[in-house]
Amino acid sequence: MKKTMKKLLTLVLTLCCCASVLCGHSLTGKATQGDFFEKSNVAQLALNTPTSGVITEKGNRWYTFTTNASNDFWYVMELKNTGFYCYSRLYDSDGANIETVYTGRNETKSKYVKLNPSSVYFVQVHGEYDDSCGNFVLNMKAENDEGDTLATASPIANEYSGTIKTENDVDWLSFNSGANTAVTVTVKNIDGSGVTAQVFKADETSVSDSYYAGKAQSNERTVLVNAGTTYYIKVTGYYDDVRYKISISGRVDEPSKAKKAKSIKLKKNVNGILDTDDDHDWFKVKANKKGNYKFIIKNIDSTSIFMSVYKGNKRIDYVYAGKADTNVLKLKLKKGTYRIEVSGNSGKYAVKVKR
């Protein structure tokens, strides 16, 4: 009986060895990661400088770096693996494992992490199995952090590219409207699960809704603004590492008050835009003599457009144009100045007055 049991045990061990060899792994399984407090040959790691290395059997490579004095940075641990399966592990000075990046064969991966300023950290690189790592490139990057609140918003020009580092990261950006009274803010999701943007005044009152752009998509909102005023954009993301681009374009909107109505000439076609559903554009035209006049409204891409004609504060009549429609309001007028109000849903239109 004892001889039989011994033979069975020998057979089981033999089968295990064969299975391990066929899978390409040694019996020792995962490599010892190395005790943090027993690390040796620790090399200095320069920020934003790729460092190459090789992991041999049961090997570990240790590095150390010191963060910048300012707290306005995110750090990216990027590992490029040109060999087999590889890990990079980030530790604080007490040996706590803060973050880990794993790469498969011939992969490059990275993770963002927020670190304390002027502090010492360590990075360990090792293979998944005793004989499975090889060549690698490690890069510890320091990236400026966009403002996390409206009060610390980062000023931008007409275009800006940024990254939502983690799911809880928020980027606040600011821009000045300049001479513009209507501004279009476009958010483009370059690479990520999703990104949202929203425009605010300085008192954190929103002037747009929160609008979403899926992967490789863009979305925009046009808002009416005061000239020479600073506005703010709040950008949030879905999950980690969402790269986005913000584009800002502006123009001088048609006057939104009757007393500031823009003068137009007879027979001249005037193009306009209702930037929001609450926008009202005002024009004025002179009737040089008594007679019949035609007020023409062309709805280019709005859901609905209304054109009203006033003498003083009294509305004489109005006309409606549906999407892609043109309509004409015929009026018999006396000599004088008349005001035109265009309202309705946001979109483009054209106005013309002729005899």
Write the CA distances from 236 to 141, 163, 256, integer angstroms: 22, 9, 32
Task: Tell whether the model's pLDDT for residue 7 goes beyond 60.
Answer: no
Query: Looking at domain 258-354, which CATH architecture does it have?
Result: Sandwich (2.60)
Report how far Cα 125 is from the mean position of its chain's Cα atoms: 32
Label residue 122 by pLDDT band (50, 70, 90).
Answer: very high
Fill in the DSSP letter of residue 31.
P
Indicate the SS3 state at residue 146. coil
The single residue listed with the structure tokens 């005023």 is 229
Environment class of residue 135 by beta-carbon count within 10 Å: exposed (0-12), middle (13-18) or buried (19+)? middle
d(CA 61, CA 212) in angstroms, rounded, equals: 43
Task: Tell whether the model's pLDDT for residue 321 goes beyond 70.
Answer: yes
User: What's at 166, amino acid-wise?
Assistant: T
Contact 353, 285 (CB under 8 A): yes
Label residue 129 by pLDDT band (50, 70, 90).
Answer: low
Label residue 337 by pLDDT band (50, 70, 90).
Answer: very high
Write the CA distances from 305 to 125, 326, 345, integer angstroms: 64, 10, 6
For CA atoms 202, 203, 208, 212, give the dihedral sign. Answer: positive
Q: What pLDDT, on the 0 to 100 scale, is given for residue 322?
A: 95
Q: Regarding the domain delimited by 32-143, which CATH topology (the fold level of the hierarchy) does it fall under? A: Jelly Rolls (2.60.120)
Task: Tell whether the model's pLDDT for residue 21 goes beyond 70.
Answer: no
Structure tokens at 233: 């954009």
Label residue 22 by pLDDT band (50, 70, 90).
Answer: very low
Backbone dihedral angles phi then psi of residue 345, each to the nearest 5 degrees: -85, 155
Write the CA distances from 227 to 129, 175, 178, 252, integer angstroms: 63, 12, 5, 9
Q: What pLDDT, on the 0 to 100 scale, is given for residue 206?
A: 96
The verdict on pTM exceeding 0.75 is no
CATH 3.20.20.140 is right for the domain spanning 150-251: no
pLDDT tens, 186-212? 999 998 789 999 999 999 999 999 999
| Mean pLDDT value of segment 119-143 | 86
Can you list the alpha helix ranges (DSSP code H) found in the chain?
A: 2-23
Between 251 and 2, residue with greater pLDDT: 251
| Mean pLDDT value of segment 245-254 | 93
Q: What pLDDT, on the 0 to 100 scale, is given for residue 55?
A: 84
Q: Where are the domains of the chain?
A: 32-143, 150-251, 258-354
Q: Do domains 32-143 and 150-251 have the same CATH topology?
A: yes
Query: Roughly how many angstroms between the first and final C-alpha of the chain, as a whole number?
Result: 118
Label residue 27 by pLDDT band (50, 70, 90).
Answer: very low
